[in-house]
């Protein structure tokens, strides 16, 4: 999924697994280039999520990069970067079943 | 002209909504006004803390009763859920001066009925593993907790409608003539009784009746993080009262404590005060160091009213028959439902378990 | 870039704050060295703007996220207006800048009207695909469906083909007649028309399915997208396209958080993308010494943006007394004239990007609208049933808009759904603007401090 003439690679780890990704890209683009599209799960419903806007707006690509929560589309890959997917957020239904009260439909 | 309503309540926050609800259930025809959507001022934007350790000593008995009400809203609010959660509460001291403050305040609140015990650092960290271990001493109260304040409006609205309260949202009341004739956006309306529940706007409301009641307006800042893995499990404050910290089940951490922003009663909230935001989050990060890793997602401001002696204004409007007032409780959300229930009982002519806070005393003092 | 360059050339002290590593925004994004290959026409225009900026003397602070804005009119009641205060941070530290005037060029972000499966990984915006193609040299997928409406559709499809990728279908909400209707306006700018024709030629010669007047019914897949179902707008048979990427976009929405924060007046103008700041003919907002230019002031296209930036700079220079009023007016008039044609074409493009009104109506009840908080259409409709009448009450009732994207992804769809019940977008309003303008790391704000440094206010009475 990368331009055919591309050769330069950068070595990073993703969830503990060593991975060579195209150099010079944002983490989001680099992961996409090696076929990693699911980056996390939505906190409330647990749905699979990945990078959506690529420009720092949607917050869907937030992953742990070297231990800090960062937007993958805004961080360039560097050698040795350690990425943990599925930024740990609890998947608890915040509104609960009883929010609406007896009168609600 | 026959009054269309037995009672008009002006202001749809915790005070107005709860008063209206219990009046309606007590058999009155009630109309509830708010110039905006209901529950959007202080009552909807506060930190939702249900703590005894930031409640004024005199209010502790009321707050204890209100705590029970908050923890059981599905029972008395037609199933309405505000996600109330009981948690242990810790008020921490980092310096010797704060330890002294803590001991004094805990003593006064304990006398008033709050089960607060003083504990050492080791026990505090055992109860709250996320706590900065440099803490010196803490007040521990097993009766503490929080709700999601912003959900309360929705929970109340259904109950109000079910109780037959006539809701007039987006309808400002401009003045009230004897009778009472309320001149509002939607026209003139007559009610036998009036309850003023306008929070910081109680001062201009009292002026409708020629009553001069100075109310100080506090502009409280709050800031919330994105969802985080668990970093704390109690409700936290500091001895000075200038921190409130809790983590919701959805992982977000809400940081408050009464740091002041920019605004006033006429203009409303204008802007967050950057230095005060920084001070507030520094205090939070000092208390729960794991917060350093968090991202802040949103800040906002709420207007809180304070009387001259910082105690509530709950009772009859002096010199005006059938006119009542409730507000400026200073931690009004915490004790609000019980105070409002008491006021409704008073208006319905029932006996009260605890006294109200008569307005008369406030008319002879000036706000500092 | 143009505003900063113009102001600096006239001797003003200028700081330009930009989130990206290199200035250029979306359209004029700089090529990434060693990655992007030969710069395309937009990058070349961008390079000229960047060169001029560099030579102008303006101070450029890149990689800076503006998280707080203050000063100006946001002062204690009764106090005189203060200098504008801008707080910008990296991931590690924050800095404050004060200035006498502020020009906001926050651009626009993409609107995507929700459809079933739109949250699946592998589904992304057309602007997102553009970023991947132009500055990341990464294809969205190996078999990509390109969908939505407007010129960006053709640009992305052609862009993928040019990079050797495979497009398995172009699913265009517009019909051929819709396109033909815009031809006269597009013809006003021959280079644009030529580019569009080039895109079309490439797409047609690739022989891939070009489905006009079609919508995405749903994206399918378990953990990632593996197919889409499409159907004609007028009804008819659903068709399945296997894919591993879906690029979809429905127009642009101006980013107005900064001007809202300063309480400038705004007006709802659908043709320009939605809520826009009210501006005079010289880009002045209703707040003194606050200006807006570019798509963030109303979508008018990339060609019109630099001219608007220069107009804003000239107005600011005049208002600050750094340039004579007559000279400023003259220079502004020239640019206003030069801007009218690209703005007209930009407006036509903006109109072409607007999705059909019933696309919102087709959002299924169980479809997520607020991605951050997983709030569905059904939950939004129920909130209206139980009394929510404006966006901010909807937020209180459902948490829609409370997530880290701060309502940017869901705001348009939520507002449209509300407006259908309440009566108008004006009645529904906008999200209340607050700081931080973007999620900001605590670590960037905290710095090193001692407990004693914290200025704790007087304690509450006991």
Q: Please tell me the total count of domains within chain C.
A: 3
Could you tell me if C278 and C240 lie in one domain?
Answer: no
Do β-strands C239-242 and B323-327 pair in parallel, antiparallel, or remain unpaired?
unpaired
Q: pLDDT, tens digit, for every residue of C241-297?
A: 999 999 999 999 999 999 999 999 999 999 999 999 999 999 999 999 999 999 999
Question: By residue range, what is the domain housing residue C415?
Answer: 363-428
| Chain C residue whose CA is closest to B102 | C462
What is the pTM for the complete model shown?
Answer: 0.94
Q: Using a CB-CB distance cutoff of 8 angstroms, which residues of chain A are in contact with residue C124?
A: 50-54
C74 inside domain? yes
Residue A16 confidence (pLDDT) above 60: yes
Backbone angles phi, psi at C213, to 5 degrees: 60, 35
Residue C211 confidence (pLDDT) above 90: yes
C21 inside domain? yes
| Chain C residue whose CA is closest to B255 | C442
Cross-chain Cβ contact A59/C405 below 8 Å: yes
CB of B161 less than 8 A from some CB of A:
yes
C443 inside domain? no
Average pLDDT (C214-228) is: 97
Average pLDDT (C333-354) is: 91
Could you tell me if C168 and C202 lie in one domain?
Answer: yes
Confidence of residue A6 (pLDDT cuts 50, 70, 90): low
- H or E segment to which residue C252 belongs: strand C252-254
Domain boundaries, chain A: 9-84
- Residue C452: the pLDDT is 85
- Residue A2: the pLDDT is 56
Could you tell me if C86 and C152 lie in one domain?
Answer: no
Could you tell me if C125 and C144 lie in one domain?
Answer: yes
**Angle subtended at Cα C454 by Cα C86 and Cα B46, rounded to the nearest 5 degrees:** 75
Could you tell me if C116 and C54 lie in one domain?
Answer: no
- Residue A96: the pLDDT is 32
Residue C191 confidence (pLDDT) above 80: no
Could you tell me if C408 and C376 lie in one domain?
Answer: yes
Q: pLDDT, tens digit, for every residue of B236-295?
A: 999 988 999 999 999 999 999 999 999 999 999 999 998 999 999 999 999 999 999 999
Could you tell me if C102 and C122 lie in one domain?
Answer: no
C433 inside domain? no
Confidence of residue A53 (pLDDT cuts 50, 70, 90): very high
CB of A105 less than 8 A from some CB of C:
yes
Could you tell me if C159 and C239 lie in one domain?
Answer: yes
C24 inside domain? yes
**What is the value of ipTM here, to two decimals?**
0.95
C-alpha torsion angle, residues C41, C46, C51, C56 (rounded to 10): 140
- Residue B77: the pLDDT is 96
C358 inside domain? no
With a CB cutoff of 8 Å and minimum separation 6, the contacts of B41 are B13, B199, B302, B303
| CATH number of the domain residue C206 falls in | 3.50.50.60
Could you tell me if C222 and C313 lie in one domain?
Answer: no
* Residues of chain B numbered 4-23 and touching chain C (CB < 8 Å): none
* Residues of chain A numbered 16-45 and touching chain C (CB < 8 Å): 22-26, 29-30, 32-33, 37-39, 42-45
Confidence of residue A3 (pLDDT cuts 50, 70, 90): low
C357 inside domain? no
Is residue A94 within 8 Å of C372, Cβ to Cβ?
no
- Residue A87: the pLDDT is 59
Residue A92 confidence (pLDDT) above 60: no
Q: How far is C295 from chain A (nearest CA, A)?
A: 16
| Structural domain ending residue among the three candidates C194, C219, C250 | C250
| Structural domain ending residue among the three candidates C250, C282, C302 | C250
Q: B80, B147, B165, B252: which to substitute to probe chain A, counting the most A Cβ within 10 Å?
A: B80
| Distance in angstroms (rounded) separating the CA atoms of residues B299 and A98 | 27
Confidence of residue A105 (pLDDT cuts 50, 70, 90): very low
- Residue B367: the pLDDT is 46
Q: How far is A82 from chain B (nearest CA, A)?
A: 16
Backbone angles phi, psi at B285, to 5 degrees: -70, -30
CB of B319 less than 8 A from some CB of A:
no
Residues of chain B falling short of pLDDT 50 = 365-368
Q: Select the residue of C91, C373, C386 nearest A100 (Cβ to Cβ).
A: C386
Tokens coding C6: 């113009």
C442 inside domain? no
Could you tell me if C162 and C279 lie in one domain?
Answer: no
Q: Which residue has the higher pLDDT, B316 or A89?
A: B316
- Residue C43: the pLDDT is 83
Is residue C172 within 8 Å of C212, Cβ to Cβ?
yes
| Structural domain ending residue among the three candidates C227, C250, C273 | C250
Q: How far is A33 from chain C (nearest CA, A)?
A: 6
- H or E segment to which residue C226 belongs: none
What is the CATH number assigned to the segment(s) A9-84?
A: 3.10.20.30
CB of C371 less than 8 A from some CB of B:
no
Cross-chain Cβ contact C402/B285 below 8 Å: no
In chain B the domains, ranked by start, together with CATH numbers, are 5-44+151-213+308-364 (3.50.50.60), 86-143+216-306 (3.30.9.10)
CB of C417 less than 8 A from some CB of B:
no
- Residue C192: the pLDDT is 73
């Amino acid at each position: 999924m990368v331009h055919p003439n591309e050769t330069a690679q950068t070595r990073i780890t993703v969830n503990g697994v060593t991975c060579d990704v195209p150099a010079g890209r944002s983490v989001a683009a680099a992961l996409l280039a090696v076929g990693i599209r699911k980056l996390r799960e939505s906190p409330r419903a647990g749905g699979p999520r990945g990078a959506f806007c690529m420009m720092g707006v949607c917050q869907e690509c937030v992953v742990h990069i070297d231990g800090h929560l960062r937007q993958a589309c805004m961080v360039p890959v560097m050698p040795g970067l350690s990425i943990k997917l599925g930024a740990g957020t609890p998947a608890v239904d915040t509104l609960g079943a009883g929010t609406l009260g007896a009168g609600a439909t | 002209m026959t009054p269309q309503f037995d009672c008009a309540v002006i202001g749809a926050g915790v005070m107005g909504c709860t008063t209206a609800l219990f009046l309606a259930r007590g058999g009155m025809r009630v109309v509830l006004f708010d110039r905006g959507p209901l529950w959007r001022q202080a009552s909807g934007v506060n930190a939702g803390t249900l703590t005894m350790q930031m409640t004024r000593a005199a209010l502790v008995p009321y707050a204890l009763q209100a705590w029970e009400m908050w923890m059981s809203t599905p029972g008395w609010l037609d199933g309405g859920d505000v996600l109330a959660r009981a948690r242990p509460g810790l008020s921490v001291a980092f310096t010797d001066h704060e330890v002294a403050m803590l001991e004094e305040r805990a003593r006064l609140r304990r006398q008033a009925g709050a089960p607060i015990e003083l504990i050492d650092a080791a026990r505090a960290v055992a109860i709250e593993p996320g706590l900065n271990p440099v803490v010196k001493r803490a007040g521990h109260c097993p009766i503490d907790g929080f709700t999601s304040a912003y959900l309360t409006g929705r929970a109340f609205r259904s109950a109000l409608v079910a109780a037959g309260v006539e809701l007039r949202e987006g309808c400002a009341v401009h003045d009230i003539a004897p009778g009472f004739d309320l001149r509002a956006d939607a026209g003139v309306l007559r009610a036998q009784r009036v309850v003023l529940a306008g929070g910081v706007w109680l001062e201009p409301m009292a002026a409708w009746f020629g009553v001069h009641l100075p109310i100080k307006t506090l502009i409280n800042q709050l800031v919330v993080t994105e969802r985080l893995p668990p970093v704390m499990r109690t409700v936290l404050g500091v001895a000075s009262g200038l921190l409130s910290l809790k983590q919701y089940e959805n992982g977000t951490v809400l940081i408050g404590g009464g740091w002041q922003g920019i605004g006033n009663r006429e203009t409303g909230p204008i802007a967050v005060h950057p230095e005060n935001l920084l001070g507030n989050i520094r205090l939070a990060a000092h208390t729960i160091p794991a917060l350093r890793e968090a991202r802040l997602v949103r800040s906002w401001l709420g207007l809180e009213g304070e009387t001259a002696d910082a105690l509530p204004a709950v009772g009859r409007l002096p010199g005006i028959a059938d006119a009542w007032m409730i507000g400026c409780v200073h931690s009004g959300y915490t004790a609000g439902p019980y105070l409002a229930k008491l006021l409704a009982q008073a208006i319905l002519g029932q006996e009260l378990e605890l006294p109200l806070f008569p307005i008369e005393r406030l008319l002879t003092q000036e706000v500092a | 870039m143009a505003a900063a360059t113009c102001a600096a050339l006239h001797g003003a002290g200028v700081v330009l704050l930009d989130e990206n590593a290199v200035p250029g925004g979306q359209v004029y994004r700089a090529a990434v060295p060693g990655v992007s290959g030969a710069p395309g026409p937009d990058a070349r225009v961008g390079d000229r703007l960047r060169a001029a900026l560099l030579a102008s003397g303006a101070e450029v602070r890149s990689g800076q996220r503006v998280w707080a804005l203050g000063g100006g009119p946001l002062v204690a009641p009764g106090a005189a207006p203060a200098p504008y205060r801008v707080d910008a941070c990296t991931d590690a530290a924050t800095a404050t800048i004060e200035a006498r005037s502020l020009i906001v060029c926050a651009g626009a972000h993409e609107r995507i009207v929700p459809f079933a499966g739109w949250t699946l990984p592998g589904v992304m915006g057309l602007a997102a695909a553009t970023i991947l193609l132009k500055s990341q040299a990464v294809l969205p997928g190996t078999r990509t469906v390109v969908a939505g409406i407007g010129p960006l559709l053709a640009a992305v499809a052609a862009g993928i083909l040019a990079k050797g990728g495979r497009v398995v279908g172009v699913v265009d909400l517009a019909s051929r007649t819709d396109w033909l209707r815009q031809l006269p306006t597009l013809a006003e700018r021959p280079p644009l028309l030529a580019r569009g024709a080039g895109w079309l030629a490439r797409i047609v010669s690739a022989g891939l399915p070009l489905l006009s007047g079609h919508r995405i019914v749903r994206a399918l897949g378990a953990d990632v997208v593996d197919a889409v179902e499409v159907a004609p707008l007028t009804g008819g048979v659903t068709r399945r396209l296997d894919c591993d990427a879906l690029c979809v976009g429905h127009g642009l929405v101006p980013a107005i958080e900064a001007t809202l924060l300063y309480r400038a007046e705004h007006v709802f103008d659908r043709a320009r993308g939605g809520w826009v700041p009210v501006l005079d003919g010289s880009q002045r907002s209703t707040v003194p010494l606050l200006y807006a230019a570019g798509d963030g002031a109303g979508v008018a296209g990339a060609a019109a943006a630099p001219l608007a930036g220069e107009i804003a700079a000239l107005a600011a220079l005049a208002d600050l007394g750094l340039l004579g009023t007559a000279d400023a007016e003259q220079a502004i008039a020239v640019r206003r004239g030069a801007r009218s044609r690209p703005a007209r074409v930009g407006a036509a493009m903006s109109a072409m990007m607007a999705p059909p009104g019933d696309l919102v109506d087709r959002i299924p009840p169980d479809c997520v609208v607020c991605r951050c908080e997983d709030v569905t259409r059904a939950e939004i409709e129920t909130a209206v049933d139980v009394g929510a009448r404006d966006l901010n009450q909807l937020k209180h009732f459902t948490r829609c808009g409370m997530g880290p994207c701060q309502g940017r992804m869901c705001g348009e769809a939520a507002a449209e759904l509300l407006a259908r019940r309440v009566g108008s977008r004006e009645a529904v309003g906008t999200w209340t603007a607050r700081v931080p303008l973007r999620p900001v790391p605590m670590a960037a704000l905290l710095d090193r401090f001692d407990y004693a440094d914290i200025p704790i206010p007087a304690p509450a009475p006991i």
